[in-house]
């Protein structure tokens, strides 16, 4: 272990004569002051180690000068890490996000300092280089070594021995005789550098105009937001690849945000085809060592392009020049943990602070981005048709009021026939149902008992493959019992409604010979296994795929020509004003998996509400009327982006404490014109992990200063006592 940690804690360096503010990765409202030992060089942005209570933590020297406290009364900084300081831009960004989300800046900074071991440079490997000459005595083994090393490349000792097929002692013998000099090899890059001119741009027709528009922004190198609004398969990726190429030529780094990066191996390969090297990946499934490397090389500038999940936005790049946000409408960009933020919105802020262009990409842009397009804040670029001879699938509604299966099951005869035809032709069908497990509800036919999670207000979902009942809120599991726990009757438990496992059972009954794959996050073997399954599907090794939204995102399955939506109404059921938009986006994305390579393709959507505007918009292929209505509706109700919203969730171990505290907050809140508070009411998830939850919704006009209001509301709120916890969510996903 590193002895400096130990000594740092035991004998602190004498305090210097100067103090600096240091932001530590804690939920503290502002930086703490530390003294700078004489002779230690720090500047704003320096990454340092400081004592905090009994511990040593990593922090960042922040802006703002001396605070007037006598440096002798402060504890000194222990250590300055040998890494480039966080840029002024990055510090400003962290402060901005903290102020906007009302989060402690230390918690935001922690997201930028994710990999504590990454701060010390990797030790350089010792290498060998052949300097020439002859050994005292030549042997066949020695000859092989010299032959291998004669090309002038540097080798490690073991690497050379291995390549020459000899033991390391042979190499050592030659080193002793002075035939090699020892040199230091820099650590290998995590990925090779992408080359903007590796493969020529191949844009055609409308893609060219689209790219030209974005390229003009990239060449200016200033802040501007472009929205590429193009149907699935229109070639949006190819278009933004050109923006990436131009940014690389200008010597800047690029960040690509993707909602399901861990599953998009095909994206990385496509990138490699264009740029000759893969981008560095950044997501939670990355091994810790790799994470440290990517972090360090993003900071030093060795990594030129990162493709990552939302947390990549907080990587302190050396010189970032472009952010792409693919599938910008995707709910996965919202983080709801500690610091609540939407990575799409914060990416735009980062572009503004860093003064570089940002490109949003979607087949179904969010209402927020569309409105920003209409009012000229973003420039919108349309790609209304698929690339080449690929056509969008032919979409039809199946009215389940008339076409539901006669006896049991969830697949209409129309859909079953369509699956049969597809499989006969050697093509693939996708059945989409956004519900994991076998059945969302289990009840006793005799007494009516329903299985509910003991800690949450949600039903237990049956997972028949594992003989378990599972809570999808908290992960609670129990074995599926044979008798009802209420009345004791045996064998009268019934599964209500379908999950993907149940659909798979039905499919196997109809098509016993078809190769069927069920894909959901329950898959054994995690992300690795998922990637393999996705590859297998792309290679045509499955006939029927049954999946949740995991299969909806970004994949290219060349043989897929039929998409069946088992329950198109599923997402519309809750009372959320965003439900229609979300459902439209998800259904467009899923049906967009079909027919991407020119084969004629179909989509069948099973619905009990064929007249619903979402269903009409999907089958007509005309999204504009649907969006216009949604936008008008939001404007009328002054909902985002026309008004501002914040949600305050008050939770506690008892219902009474939660509700009481929420009421107290409401009555203590200041009166400000243009801002109103709704509730408290039970939160959409009223009980989670044994905690009762109440919600206050704060609604403000577009012009109101929501953050200032919330700050004073929190300041005047009653103290959080006992188990009470208050969580603020700016721009909540559901409202
Ligand atoms: P989107 O991102 O809009 O869904 P993609 O960029 O994935 O669309 O393009 C859809 C398909 O068309 C892909 O298979 C892609 O390789 C192909 N494609 C797009 N543009 C071109 C082009 N200019 N030349 C050749 N193939 C292209
Ligand atoms: Zn639960």
The ligand 1 atom at the shortest distance from the C-alpha of residue 597 is 14
Using most ligand atoms within 8 A of CB, pick from 203, 231, 235, 264 the residue to mutate for ligand 1.
235
Model pLDDT for residues 316-349, shown as the tens digit of each residue? 999 999 999 999 999 999 999 889 999 999 999 9
Percent above pLDDT 70 for the chain: 96
Nearest alpha-carbon partner for 495 in 452, 439, 435: 439
Query: What local confidence, expressed as pLDDT, does residue 116 receive?
Result: 62
Pull the structure tokens for residue 663. 């009421």
Which residue shows structure tokens 């191949």? 202
Residue having the nearest C-alpha atom to atom 18 of ligand 1: 235
In whole angstroms, what is the distance from residue 218 CA to residue 239 CA? 13
Q: Between vectors from CA 128 to CA 123 and to CA 132, what angle results, nearest 5°?
A: 160
Is 456 marked as binding a ligand? yes
Q: Over 50: is that where the pLDDT of 5 sits?
A: no
Is 83 marked as binding a ligand? no
Nearest alpha-carbon partner for 58 in 3, 12, 120: 120
Residue having the nearest C-alpha atom to atom 9 of ligand 1: 235
Q: With cut-offs at 50, 70 and 90, classify the pLDDT of residue 121.
A: low
DSSP, collapsed to helix, strand or coil, labels residue 444 as: strand
Nearest alpha-carbon partner for 732 in 309, 308, 345: 345
Is 447 marked as binding a ligand? yes
Nearest alpha-carbon partner for 644 in 698, 683, 579, 577: 698
**β-strand pairing of 428-432 with 725-730:** unpaired
Residue having the nearest C-alpha atom to atom 5 of ligand 1: 235
In whole angstroms, what is the distance from residue 677 CA to residue 374 CA? 30
Pull the structure tokens for residue 5. 């940690």
Which ipTM value was assigned to this complex? 0.97
Q: Helices 265-275 & 526-538, crossing angle to 10 degrees? A: 70
Q: Strands, DSSP E only, in 465-511? A: 468-470, 477-479, 493-496
**β-strand pairing of 544-547 with 428-432:** parallel
Neighbours of 597 (CB within 10 A): 15
Percent above pLDDT 90 for the chain: 69
Query: Which numbered ligand comes closest to the C-alpha of 457?
Result: 2
The ligand 1 atom at the shortest distance from the C-alpha of residue 204 is 23
The ligand 1 atom at the shortest distance from the C-alpha of residue 231 is 3
The ligand 1 atom at the shortest distance from the C-alpha of residue 270 is 16
In whole angstroms, what is the distance from residue 605 CA to residue 396 CA? 6
Residues whose beta carbon lies within 6 Å of some atom of ligand 1:
202-204, 207, 230, 232-238, 387, 556
Pull the structure tokens for residue 511. 């098509």
| Mean pLDDT, residues 107-113 | 93
Residue 236 CA, ligand 1 centroid: distance in Å:
7
Is 496 marked as binding a ligand? no
3-state SS of 160-193 is HHHHHCCCHHHHHHHHHCCCEEEEEECCCCCCCC
Q: Over 50: is that where the pLDDT of 9 sits?
A: no
DSSP, collapsed to helix, strand or coil, labels residue 80 as: strand
Q: With cut-offs at 50, 70 and 90, classify the pLDDT of residue 60.
A: very high
Query: Which numbered ligand comes closest to the C-alpha of 589?
Result: 1
Mean pLDDT over all residues of the chain?
Answer: 91
Query: Which numbered ligand comes closest to the C-alpha of 688?
Result: 2
Model pLDDT for residues 389-426, shown as the tens digit of each residue? 888 899 999 999 999 888 889 999 999 999 999 999 99
Residue 189 CA, ligand 2 centroid: distance in Å:
44
Looking at the chain, how many residues does it have? Answer: 735
Residue having the nearest C-alpha atom to atom 4 of ligand 1: 233
Query: Which numbered ligand comes closest to the C-alpha of 477?
Result: 2
What are the two backbone dihedrals, phi and then psi, of residue 681, each rounded to the nearest 5 degrees? -135, 160
Residue having the nearest C-alpha atom to atom 25 of ligand 1: 202
Residue 47's Cβ-count burial label (10 Å; 0-12, 13-18, 19+) is buried
Model pLDDT for residues 209-258, shown as the tens digit of each residue? 999 999 999 999 999 999 999 998 899 999 999 999 999 999 999 999 99
| Mean pLDDT, residues 120-134 | 76
Neighbours of 288 (CB within 10 A): 10
Q: Over 90: is that where the pLDDT of 100 sits?
A: yes
In whole angstroms, what is the distance from residue 515 CA to residue 503 CA? 14
């Amino acid at each position: 272990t590193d002895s400096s940690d130990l000594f740092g804690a035991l004998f602190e360096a004498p305090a210097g004569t100067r103090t600096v503010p240091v932001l530590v990765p804690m939920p503290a409202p502002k930086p703490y002051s530390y003294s700078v030992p004489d002779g230690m060089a720090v500047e704003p942005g320096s990454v340092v180690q400081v004592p905090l209570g009994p511990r040593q933590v990593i922090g960042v020297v922040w802006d703002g000068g001396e605070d007037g406290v006598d440096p002798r009364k402060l504890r000194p900084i222990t250590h300055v890490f040998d890494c480039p300081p966080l840029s002024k831009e990055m510090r400003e960004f962290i402060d901005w996000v903290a102020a906007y989300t009302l989060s402690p800046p230390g918690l935001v900074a922690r997201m930028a300092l994710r990999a504590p071991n990454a701060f010390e440079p990797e030790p350089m490997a010792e290498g060998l280089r052949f300097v020439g000459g002859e050994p005292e005595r030549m042997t066949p083994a020695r000859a092989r070594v010299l032959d291998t090393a004669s090309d002038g490349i540097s080798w490690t000792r073991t690497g050379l021995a291995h390549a020459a097929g000899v033991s390391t002692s042979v190499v050592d013998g030659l080193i002793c005789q002075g035939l090699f000099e020892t040199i230091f090899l820099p650590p290998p890059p995590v990925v090779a550098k992408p080359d903007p001119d590796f493969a020529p741009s191949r844009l055609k027709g409308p893609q060219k105009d689209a790219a030209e528009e974005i390229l003009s922004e990239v060449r200016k190198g200033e802040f501007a937001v472009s929205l590429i609004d193009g149907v699935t398969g229109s070639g949006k990726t190819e278009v933004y690849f050109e923006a990436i190429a131009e940014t690389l030529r200008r010597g800047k780094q690029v960040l690509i945000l993707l909602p399901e990066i861990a599953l998009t191996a095909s994206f990385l390969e496509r990138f490699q085809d264009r740029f000759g090297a893969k981008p560095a990946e950044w997501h939670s499934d990355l091994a810790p060592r790799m994470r440290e490397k990517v972090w360090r090389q993003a900071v030093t500038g060795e990594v030129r392009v990162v493709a990552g999940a939302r947390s990549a936005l907080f990587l302190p790049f050396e010189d970032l020049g472009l952010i792409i946000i693919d599938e910008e409408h995707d709910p996965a960009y919202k983080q709801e943990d500690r610091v609540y933020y939407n990575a799409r919105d914060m990416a735009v802020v980062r572009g503004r602070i860093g003064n570089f262009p940002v490109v949003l990409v979607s087949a179904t842009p969010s209402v927020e981005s569309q409105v920003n397009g209409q009012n000229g804040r973003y420039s919108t670029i349309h790609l209304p048709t698929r690339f080449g001879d690929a056509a969008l699938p032919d979409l039809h509604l199946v009215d389940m009021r008339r076409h539901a299966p006669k006896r049991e099951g969830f697949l209409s005869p129309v859909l079953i026939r369509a699956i049969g035809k597809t499989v006969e032709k050697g093509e693939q069908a996708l059945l989409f149902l956004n519900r994991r497990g076998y059945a969302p509800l289990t009840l006793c036919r005799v007494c009516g008992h329903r299985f509910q999670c003991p800690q949450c207000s949600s039903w237990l979902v049956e997972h028949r493959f594992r003989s378990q009942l599972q809570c999808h809120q908290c992960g609670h599991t129990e074995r599926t019992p044979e008798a009802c726990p209420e009345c004791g009757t045996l064998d009268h438990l019934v599964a209500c409604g379908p999950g993907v496992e149940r659909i798979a059972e039905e499919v196997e009954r109809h098509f016993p010979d078809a190769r069927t794959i069920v894909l959901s996050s329950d898959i054994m073997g995690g992300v690795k296994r998922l990637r393999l399954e996705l590859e297998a599907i792309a290679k045509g090794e499955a006939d029927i795929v049954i999946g949740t939204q995991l299969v909806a995102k970004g994949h290219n399955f060349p043989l897929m020509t039929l998409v069946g939506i088992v329950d198109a109404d599923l997402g519309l059921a809750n009372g959320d004003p965003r439900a229609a938009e979300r459902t439209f986006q998800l259904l467009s994305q899923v049906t967009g998996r079909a027919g991407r390579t020119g084969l004629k393709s179909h989509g069948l959507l099973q619905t009990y509400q064929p007249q619903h505007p979402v269903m009409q918009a999907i089958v007509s292929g005309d999204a504009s009327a649907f969006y216009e209505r949604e936008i008008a509706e939001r404007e009328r109700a002054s909902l985002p982006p026309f008004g501002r919203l914040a949600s305050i969730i008050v939770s506690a171990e008892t219902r009474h404490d939660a509700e009481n505290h929420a009421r107290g907050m409401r009555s203590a809140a200041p009166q400000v014109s243009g801002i109103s508070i709704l509730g408290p009411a039970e939160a959409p998830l009223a009980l989670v992990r044994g905690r009762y939850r109440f919600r206050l919704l704060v609604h403000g006009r577009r012009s109101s200063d929501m953050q200032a209001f919330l700050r004073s509301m929190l300041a005047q709120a009653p103290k959080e006592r006992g188990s009470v916890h208050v969580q603020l969510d700016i721009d909540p996903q559901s409202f």
